[in-house]
Amino acid sequence: MVAVILIVLQILFNEVCPMKIVFGMSCPACGLTHAVIYILTFQWSKSLECNPTGFLWFFAILNWCWFRYIRGKKSQIVIFLFIISGLASIVVYFFKIVYFLYY
């Protein structure tokens, strides 16, 4: 069902992101998947172009996987990393908004 909705959005609006369709600009996580893929393929400059917070999210998710699945423990560091990554995403998003509005 989700695939059908995404296909319909792509056909109608040439876009799948609801925020981009409604507001005309990308969401804070826009480009994050591509950024992580570029990190995994060692294309770091492309990763920064897609989403500058990709490295933070990648590191946070890597730590989460390490502590949850390998060590089998909960960690406060992981929570801290997710908070920092989220705040950084919001800051970068506000810079994008200002740039979008004034340039």
Output the pLDDT for position 103. Answer: 59
For 14, list phi and psi in degrees, rounded to 5.
60, 35
Output the pLDDT for position 7. Answer: 84
Output the pLDDT for position 5. Answer: 84
Residue type, 89: S
Output the pLDDT for position 6. Answer: 78
Mean pLDDT by 10 residues, the chain (103 residues): 82 83 83 91 94 95 93 89 96 87 65
Output the pLDDT for position 2. Answer: 79
pLDDT digits (tens, 9 = 90+) for 68-78: 999 988 888 99
Output the pLDDT for position 59. Answer: 96
Output the pLDDT for position 25. Answer: 77
Distance CA(53)–CA(66), nearest Å, equals 20
